[in-house]
Each structure stands twice: as structure tokens, then as C-alpha cells.
């Protein structure tokens, strides 16, 4: 096979990681308290063909069990491997013999544990180097694709829920934090198109994932939690191609020297210095996240809200105190990053004055006061959306006040989705507020329980808007499939 | 009455705001949907004497109603006033005639609405200037003191829960954000000794509150959300006296020029520039908060955890990815503020190696991996607590992993409360994790659902430790009552 042909075939095989027709689980077990047992039971919801492989050929829940991959009479698209590291090599041989398209090595005990594990990875890499088999991992949770009911994760669902289907591709080099992330995602109705755990990146890496999800039409936003970068040059080239069409958010952990050392201990890979990466990312339109919560917030606001094409924010609140803190964050460049408070037009102020109580503030931040009604919120949202001096809206639709009702949920949803200007809602409080937040999130309206997080998310919408205007000016909106760039 | 004598009497009368024996509600109503009706019903849980005052002398739930304060035959310690601003002056006259100790003006329509309101405040100030009546407000939610069942707040409890009794005094110049804050506090078992809404600060201000809560023995920590500072010189003097004994955390909103303008619109008072305030606060040991969530986090960690007397943090996690992000934040001075990763002693590493799996990392961050058990967490906490190279611990006691159980809650509680080194727990996830967090919080163990917030809280423990060492060196630990300083 020619090198270029093999490359293209390998590229095509990536899609079998998330859309296989048939799966074999090597290391499947009848024991539900073992990893191979948990995984086999979760794979039952996958509608395609499933083959348990087990060297002892124990019967598993009545399914015919195979002692090796090569014993399976039909085609296997995806082999998921969960057996001790020392036994992996022969399974890889079997994958190649069997012409398996993609393999996921769940097992740990590789480069993250030292020299011997690194050697084992090298051997696998050698074995697959002249083939089109793609290998994800090792040392990974694998994949989770809600739209096709594919779940290779061995963490039990009672303790760690799975998010529903949605527009965000989530790629992570860290397993435990991916568990926390997806559990949080489920809780907030944050929908994902797929989760991919990169693990030690023996073969498949972040660049392959960018290629894959650029062409996946269900994916609107790509977010990645990385601890190392395999090929920075290619990463930047890919991001440059993709970001005009799909936002990319990257958490690159290991920013500090000590953090980079910790990352090396964790996944066995060395991080680059932070400043170089930050600057390069910015140039190619990548949104930077500093932690998982930022990755979470930025990806969901970019998935569900339009970009902001100017820096001027109108704040609509019924609590003056929130307005003051929001103003501070918006105008503080270390948080707002260039956002500023909009100067409302005289016309807007007049219109607000007409319908609001005399003690309400019609200057920005607009303070509707504790006497606010649902209708006043609706009216204020209308006025700021029509004001040409306003580029985006920070809203505090608080339902604690005596005269507001659950109708405010619908009003907030309507303006979030239909307003001319992007709007970010912020609701602060306890269990009652959390119920309101969950209701809005179920309507695909992300809500922020923290003023700083809300302002940072507005900033990200503005960064996205600025970037889109920049690439538009340069005429870079010509769509080319990533496969054409190979 | 001599000026100094009046000042001392006024100082003593402050305590009637939170510990009255008898209360009159001016503006009490039989209508439960009106502010005066909500307030009257919530005052019923107060065990002392309660008198409804209503100009129309309507009967309220069978209680004898008075047409004015002066008609009440017995003594009134605290008058709570909830009638339109224009009718307030004669009630203040009545307070003085009746020798009421303290009054709370709930009503709005004063300086926050402009010139006319400002004049009204001046008139009240004139009336009380030669008396010992203390006046809280106007434009305030009033007070909430759970230990004596005093609740003057008109926000309905269904929408906005009240926190339980605890060690933190919470003083706020902003009403709506106080509602959000206390609702959040209830949800997280954050206990308060008292809430005081300062409102427009016509008479009682933040300095009076510092004096009051310095001497209140139930109060271990004082936190304040301010939009203006009445007398900076006196504030700093008081803080200097108090901070060696009780931590003070201040959120001074209106940090930026635009924020200061917004604060002026909100409470009618002008803010000072941020840098001057920050520097002065630091000198007198005040912990600065940038928003309500920081105020919340810093006050609860200072209330429930010991200070940290050095910068060296050990991170104990079962998720390597969390450890890397935590390391980044600890070493990034804009977040960690001088914290650094501890270099574990060779002895500690040996001890960890003895009992942990071969693939666990015994370097800091200590990564117990997904195979972690409850006992491994316990053991790792023991080792870092005994290590002389460690000053504080950031713990990720994650229960999602297969082999950990609810016992980890008790282990975390034990080390939080009994460890030699201060420990801050961080748990990230969805609804299951939130349950675990609530259980720990009910045991008075604050938990942070966000790595950045956890590191910021460790930083605050370190700032507190540094300050205490500084004042100790200067021999400033001589206790003097604030009243002696008057």
C-alpha cells in the first residue's frame, strides 16, 4: 500500500471509533463487578453486532463467546480491548489479521508507568505502522457516543451519569476529569455528539480528532482537554482550517513548569511552554480554557448562542448589587478582555423610563429593582435588543422577587434564542434558583450561577465574533474538507 | 447628654438591632401578599414581644393593633418601619418620644432615587442627631438572626430560603444580592450569626457593624459586601484592631470607574478607587473578595478551617487530570498568590510507595489513580500531614471510582477537622457528586466544586496565616474591646 493511500484509509477508519457497525470486546466478562463485566453490560444498548471475546471462552449471559478475535466469523469494525497490558501484543496481531478497522486499548500499564510500558507502546506502534488500523489509547475510558448508544466506559452509571446527545464533541486526554466533566454535563443538559478519551495517544491523537469532527455534521463545537501536543504545527494548521466553521476550545493543562511536570507524570508526555501556545492558539481562532469549568462553559455558550460582534454589553438586572459587580468584571480587562458597558441611546432610556417604576435605573446597568414584573424584564430585553449601541446582553432573570413568576423562564428562553443580540443569563441562589436553572438548561439555555463565569462567557462570544469578522475580511470562508488537506 | 456619652449609648443600642426583647412593626398588614403582611407573619417566630402598628388600626390575626408607636403601653426595643417614605418622619419622631433603641427603615424611595430622597434622609439624620436612637437603612431588607428567630426580610421563604445559625456575620449594602447569597448559603449549610442589610446607610454603617460583631462572641468571621465606604480612616483602624482575632473579608463593589458609577446609581454613594483600597485593606489584614462567590467561599473556609502557615501545598487526587490543573493554578501567582507545590520528603515518597499501586504517582501531585480505595486516601492524607515539607493539602476525594465508598466522606471529614495541616476538598461532577458535597457540608466541611475556587480558598488560608504571623511578631495580640476605642 502506498503511504498516501494508507494515510487516507487510516483517516477514513477513524470514523469506526464512533460509528462502528460491529464491536468485539476483548476481555468481556460475566462478572458484573469486573471492568470487562461492566463494559459488556453497557455495550448491550448498542444496536449493532456485539461479540464477546474471552480467552477462557466462558459463556456470558448466554451470548456465544470467542476465544480470540480471529474466531469471529463475521467482520469486526471496532475492537475494544480490556485485558492486562502484557497480553495486548497478540490481540493487536489478531486485529491486523482480522482486518479490524479501529481498536481501543482501555488497559493501563503503558508509558504512564515508565520505561517498560513505553517499550510496549513502541512495539504496538511498530506492528500497526504499515497497516490502516487505528488505535485509540492505551490507558483510556474509550468512547461514548449517545446518538448511536455506544458506551465503552467502565465507570458505573449510578455514580457517574452520561450526558445526552447534542452538538459538542468532547475530547480529553485525562480519564478521571472526563468522568467529572460528563457527569456535570448530564446534570446541566449539556449535549455531546461524542466523547473520545485519548489516553496515552500511542496512535490516534488530537489532530486525528479534529479531522474526524470537522466532517461530522452533528458536531457544531469541538472542545479538547489536552496535557500534551503531539504535533503543534499540524494542530495549528488544522485549527486554522476548522475555526471559521466550528469553534474549537482547548484546555491545555500543564501551563506552568510544575504543571507540565505533573502532566508528564500523569500521561507520560511533555508539555510546551504556555505563552507560545496561547499566542499561536489565538492566531488560529482557538478559544483558550484554563480549567474544566471554563471548557464546559465556553463550549456550551458557543454551541447554543450566537457570536457577539462588538464589545458593548447591556446589563439587565433586578438586583442593583449584581449590576455593580457585573460592571466591574466587564470593565476589568483581565476578565472582560475588552468588553465594555454600553452607553444606552437616549431613545432607549426614554422608552425604559416610560414603562419602569420611577426608582428603577434606566442607565446601564439597568436595575429593574425588587418591584420588577415578568413584563418589565420582557420590555427591557426588547429595548436593549433594539438599541444600536448594544452588542450583547448580560441578563439576571431572578425569580426570587415577589412579582416575578415562572413565565420569566419562557421570556428568558425566547430572548436567548430569538434576540438580535447574544444574551447570557446569570442566576444566583440556592435550591429554588437551581430548579429554575435546570428548567432553562433543559430548554437548551445555558445559565451561569456566577457573575464572573457569565462575563467570561460573554467575552468568549465576543472573541468568537471578532475572529469571524477577521477571517471574513480575509475571505477565508471557502469550505474544504479536511481529507483534501491530507 | 454629652457627645461622648451619647456615642457610647448609641454604640450599646446597636445590639438591639440583633437582640431586641420587643419589636414593633410599623406598617404591619393583615394582607399576606403585601410586604407588611409577609413581614408580620415571619416575625411570629420571634419569641419576644411583638406589636403591630397600623394607622388604620386594622385587626391582624387577632393581635391588638396600635395606630402609632406611642400608643404601645410597654417598652419597644426595635421598631421595624415598612410604610411609604413620605410618611416616615412622624414615625421617627414617635421612635424618639417612645425611647425606642433601634429602628430599621425597610422602605425605599430615599437617596437612591435622587435629590428629594436625599433631603428626606438629611431630615431624619437631623432628627436623630442628638439622640441615641440607631437607624438602619433606609432601603434595606433589614436583619436576619437565626439564633434568636428574628427575620425582618420581606422576600418569601419559598423562593428564598434562610440559612441556619453559624459563625459568620454577613453584612451587605445590596439587598437583592443578599437574597441570592443567603439562599446559596442555606443550600450549602453555611451558617450565619446574623445578616444585616445596610441599605442607604443614613445612620448605621459598616464601621458600626464591625464594632458590633467584634464583641459578639458567636461571630468568628465577618464578611461584608460594600458599595461605598463611609469613613475609610475609621474602617482601617477598626479592621486593624479586629483582624488579629477575627478574619474580615470585604467585597468592595464598584472597583472600576464604570462599576463605581453603577454603585452610585444603585445606592447613591460614591466609591473610592480600587488600588488605594486594596493596598490599605491588605495592610490591615482584610481579605479581599471580587464577587459574592468569593465572599462566600473565603468566609466559609476561614470559619471552618485553620490558617496555613506556609506556601507549600500537597495535592492528593485519584484523577491525574485534576492534579495537573491544580498544579497550574497553585503555581500561577495570579491565582495561587505565592502558593507553591510542596516537594515531598524522600521518607513520604517511600511510605506512599509501600502501600500504593505501582502505577500510582508518589510525586506531588499524588495520583492514587482510578484503582484508589478509601484506605489509600486515608493513608495518603496521613503521609502528607506528617510531612514537614507540606503546609496545606488540596484534596480530591472523588467517589466516582469503582472501589471508593461513602466511607470516604467520613475520612475526608476527619482529616479536614483533625489534620495538622489545613485541607481544602474539591469534588467535581454531577448530581451524585452534589449529594456527596451536601453531606460533607452538613458536617461543616465546605467543599469546592471547581479547582480554581479551591486553590483561591487555600490561598486565603495562607494569606491569613501570613498575616497572623506578622502581627504576632509585632506583639499586637493584646485584646481590647472596641468600645474602649470610642
B409-430 pLDDT tens trace: 999 999 999 999 999 999 999 9
Cβ of B327 within 8 Å of Cβ of A262? The answer is: yes
Nearest by CB: B359 against A108, A177, A431: A108
pTM strictly above 0.90: yes
Å between B457 CA and nearest CA of chain A: 16
**Does B320 contact A186 at a Cβ distance shorter than 8 Å?**
no
Nearest CA distance, B181 vs chain A (angstrom): 6
User: For the domain B1-139, what is the CATH code?
Assistant: 3.40.50.720
For B430, the closest of A187, A291, A434 (CB atoms) is A187
Residue A26 belongs to what H/E stretch?
strand A22-26
Residue B267 confidence (pLDDT) = 58
Question: Who has greater pLDDT, A226 or B359?
Answer: A226
Whether A29 and A60 have beta carbons less than 8 Å apart is answered as yes
pLDDT of B484 reads 46
pLDDT tens by residue, A81-133: 999 999 999 999 999 999 999 999 999 889 888 889 999 999 999 999 999 99
- Which pLDDT value is given to residue A272? 56
pLDDT at A365: 96
Nearest CB among B35, B156, B184 relative to A429 is that of B184
**What's the CATH class of domain A141-304?**
alpha beta
Picking from B117, B327, B339, B409 by the largest number of A CB atoms within 10 A of its own CB, the best residue to mutate is B327
Instruction: Please determine whether the domains at B1-139 and B140-304 fall in the same fold group of CATH.
Output: yes
> If DSSP states are collapsed to H, E and C, what string results for chain B?
CCHHHHHHHHHHHHHHHCCCCEEEEECCCCCCCCHHHHHHHHHCCCCCEEEEECCCCCCECCECCECCHHHCCCCCCEEEECCCHHHHHHHHHHHHHCCCCEEEECCCCCHHHCHHHHHHHHHHHHHHCCCCCEEECCCCCCEEEHHHCEECCCCCCCCCCCCCEEEEEEEECCHHHHHHHHHHHHHCCCCEEEEEECCCCCCCCHHHHHHHHHHCCCCCEEEEEECCCCCHHHHHHHHHHHCCCCCEEEEECCCCHHHHHHHHHHHCCCCCCHHHHHHHHHHCCCEEECCHHHHHHHHHHHHHCCCCCCCEEEEEECCHHHHHHHHHHHHCHHHHCCCEECCCCHHHHHHHHHHCCCCCECCCCEECCCCCCHHHHHHHHHHHHHCCCCCEEEEECCCCCCCCCCHHHHHHHHHHHHCCCCEEEECCCCHHHHHHHHHHHHCCCCCECCHHHHHHHHHHHHHHHHHHHHHHHCCCCCCCCHHHHC
Given B321, B332, B361, which is nearest A177 (Cβ)?
Answer: B321
Interstrand relation of A143-145 and A192-197 (parallel, antiparallel or unpaired) = antiparallel
A429: pLDDT strictly greater than 70:
yes
Distance from CA of A155 to the nearest CA of B (A): 7
Asked whether residue A161 carries a pLDDT value surpassing 50, the answer given is yes
Task: Enumerate residue ranges in chain B where pLDDT < 70.
Answer: 1-2, 264-273, 475-486
CA-based nearest distance B8→chain A, Å: 32
Q: Which residue of A has its CA nearest to B264?
A: A324
Q: How many residues does chain B have?
A: 486
Domain B307-471: CATH class, spelled out: alpha beta
Q: Do B431 and A179 touch (CB under 8 A)?
A: no
Report residue A268's pLDDT band, with 50, 70 and 90 as the boundaries: low
Using the beta-carbon criterion (under 8 Å), do A155 and B402 form an inter-chain contact? Answer: yes
Cβ partners under 8 Å of residue A144, min gap 6: A150, A151, A152, A153, A162, A182, A192, A194, A195
Q: Are residues A179 and B429, on separate chains, in Cβ contact within 8 Å?
A: yes
- Return the percentage of chain A with pLDDT > 70, whole number: 95
- Tell me if A359 and B112 make a contact (CB, 8 A cut-off): yes
CB contact under 8 A, A341 and B258: yes
pLDDT at B403: 87
Residue pair A107/A88 in contact by the 8 Å Cβ criterion: yes
Contacts of B185 in chain A (CB under 8 A): 430
Q: Quick one: angle between helices A175-187 and B431-442, nearest 10?
A: 90
- 8 Å CB contact of A328 and B365: no
| Higher pLDDT among residues A235 and A484, named by residue | A235
Nearest CA in chain A to B289: A325
* Cell numbers placing A201: 495517544
Of the pLDDT bands very low, low, confident and very high (cuts 50, 70, 90), residue A478 is low
Q: Roughly what angle, to the nearest 10 degrees, separates helices B274-283 and B232-242? A: 30
Q: Return the pLDDT at B486.
A: 40
CA–CA dist A174, A181 (Å, integer)? 10
Question: Across the interface, do A328 and B399 touch by the CB < 8 Å criterion?
Answer: no
Q: Does domain A306-471 match CATH 3.40.50.261? A: yes
CA-nearest of A221, A235, A374, A224 to A303 is A221
* Mean pLDDT estimate for chain A: 92
Burial class (CB in 10 A: 0-12, 13-18, 19+), A15: middle
B80-107: pLDDT as tens digits: 999 999 999 999 999 999 999 999 999 9
Size of interface A-B (CB pairs under 8 A): 288
* Mean pLDDT score, A233-258: 94
**Residue A111 · residue A118 · CB < 8 Å:** yes
Nearest CA in chain B to A291: B325
- Residue A267: predicted pLDDT: 58
Contacts of B332 in chain A (CB under 8 A): 255-256
Sign of CA dihedral B356, B358, B364, B368: negative
The interface pTM score, or ipTM, of the predicted complex is 0.92
**Residue A182 pLDDT:** 95
The alpha-carbon gap from B306 to the nearest alpha carbon of chain A, in Å, equals 26
Please give, rounded to a whole number of angstroms, the shortest distance from the CA of B368 to a CA of chain A.
11
Q: Spelled out in words, what is the top-level CATH class assigned to the domain B140-304? A: alpha beta
Residue A486's pLDDT is what?
A: 40
**Looking at residue A266, what is its pLDDT?**
62
Contact B160 A430 (CB under 8 A): yes
What are the pLDDT digits (tens) for A165-193?
999 999 999 988 899 999 999 999 999 99
Determine phi and psi for B202, rounding to 5 degrees.
-55, -40
> Is A158–B324 a contact, with Cβ atoms under 8 angstroms apart?
no
**Choice between A258 and A284, residue whose per-residue pLDDT is larger:** A284
Instruction: Check pLDDT > 90 for residue A477.
Output: no
Taking CA–CA distances from A154, the nearest residue in chain B reads B402
* CB-CB under 8 Å, B399 with A253: no
Smallest Cβ distance to B365: which of A174, A262, A340?
A: A262
Interface test mutation site (partner A, options B175, B178, B321, B398, max chain A beta carbons within 10 A): B321
- The residue extents of the domains of chain A are 1-139, 141-304, 306-471
Rounded to a whole number of angstroms, the distance from the CA of A130 to the nearest CA of chain B is: 31
Shortest alpha-carbon distance between residue A142 and chain B (Å) = 15
Task: Give the mutation candidate from A187, A189, A268, A291 for the B interface (greatest B CB count, under 10 A).
Answer: A291
Identity of the residue in B328, B363, B432 whose CB atom sits nearest the CB atom of A160: B432
- pLDDT, position B57: 75
Amino acid at each position: 500500500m502506498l503511504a498516501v493511500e494508507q494515510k487516507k484509509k487510516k483517516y477514513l477508519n477513524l470514523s469506526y471509533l464512533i460509528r462502528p457497525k460491529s464491536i468485539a470486546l476483548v476481555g468481556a466478562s460475566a462478572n458484573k463487578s469486573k471492568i470487562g463485566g461492566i463494559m459488556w453490560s453497557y455495550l448491550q444498548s448498542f444496536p449493532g453486532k456485539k461479540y464477546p471475546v474471552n480467552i477462557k471462552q466462558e459463556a456470558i449471559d448466554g451470548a456465544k463467546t470467542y476465544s480470540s478475535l480471529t474466531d469471529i466469523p463475521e467482520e469486526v469494525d471496532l475492537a475494544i480491548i480490556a485485558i492486562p497490558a502484557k497480553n495486548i501484543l497478540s490481540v493487536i496481531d489478531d486485529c491486523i489479521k482480522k482486518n479490524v478497522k479501529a481498536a481501543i486499548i482501555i488497559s493501563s500499564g503503558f508509558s504512564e508507568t515508565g520505561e517498560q510500558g513505553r517499550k510496549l507502546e513502541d512495539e504496538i506502534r511498530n506492528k500497526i505502522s504499515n497497516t490502516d488500523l487505528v488505535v485509540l489509547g492505551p490507558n483510556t475510558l474509550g468512547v461514548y457516543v449517545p446518538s448511536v448508544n455506544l458506551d465503552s466506559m467502565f465507570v458505573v452509571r449510578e455514580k457517574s451519569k452520561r450526558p445526552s446527545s447534542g452538538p459538542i464533541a468532547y475530547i480529553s486526554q485525562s480519564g478521571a476529569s472526563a468522568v467529572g466533566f460528563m457527569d456535570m454535563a448530564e446534570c446541566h443538559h449539556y449535549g455531546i455528539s461524542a466523547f473520545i478519551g485519548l489516553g496515552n495517544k500511542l496512535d490516534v491523537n488530537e489532530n486525528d480528532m479534529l479531522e474526524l469532527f470537522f466532517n461530522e455534521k452533528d458536531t457544531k463545537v469541538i472542545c479538547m482537554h489536552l496535557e500534551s501536543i503531539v504535533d503543534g504545527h499540524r494542530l495549528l494548521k488544522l485549527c486554522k482550517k476548522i475555526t471559521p466553521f466550528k469553534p474549537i476550545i482547548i484546555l491545555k493543562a500543564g501551563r506552568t513548569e510544575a504543571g507540565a511536570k505533573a502532566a508528564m507524570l500523569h500521561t507520560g508526555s511533555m508539555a510546551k511552554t504556555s505563552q507560545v501556545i496561547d499566542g499561536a492558539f489565538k492566531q488560529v481562532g482557538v478559544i483558550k480554557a484554563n480549567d474544566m469549568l471554563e471548557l464546559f462553559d465556553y463550549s456550551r455558550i458557543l454551541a447554543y448562542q450566537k457570536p457577539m460582534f462588538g464589545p458593548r454589553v447591556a446589563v439587565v438586572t433586578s438586583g442593583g448589587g449584581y449590576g455593580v459587580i457585573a460592571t466591574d468584571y466587564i470593565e476589568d480587562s483581565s476578565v472582560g478582555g475588552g468588553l465594555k458597558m454600553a452607553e444606552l441611546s437616549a431613545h432607549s432610556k426614554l422608552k425604559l423610563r416610560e414603562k419602569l417604576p420611577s426608582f428603577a435605573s434606566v442607565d446601564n446597568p439597568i436595575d429593574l429593582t425588587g418591584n420588577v414584573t415578568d413584563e418589565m424584564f420582557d420590555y427591557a430585553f426588547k429595548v436593549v435588543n433594539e438599541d444600536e449601541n448594544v452588542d450583547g446582553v448580560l441578563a439576571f432573570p431572578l425569580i426570587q422577587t415577589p412579582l416575578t413568576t415562572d413565565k420569566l423562564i419562557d421570556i428568558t428562553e425566547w430572548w436567548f434564542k430569538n434576540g438580535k443580540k447574544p444574551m447570557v443569563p446569570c442566576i444566583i441562589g440556592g435550591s429554588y434558583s437551581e430548579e429554575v436553572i435546570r428548567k432553562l438548561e433543559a430548554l437548551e439555555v445555558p445559565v451561569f450561577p456566577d457573575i464572573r463565569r457569565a462575563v467570561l462567557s460573554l467575552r468568549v462570544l465576543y472573541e468568537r465574533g471578532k475572529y469571524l469578522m477577521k477571517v471574513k475580511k480575509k475571505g477565508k470562508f471557502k469550505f474544504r474538507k479536511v481529507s483534501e488537506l491530507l
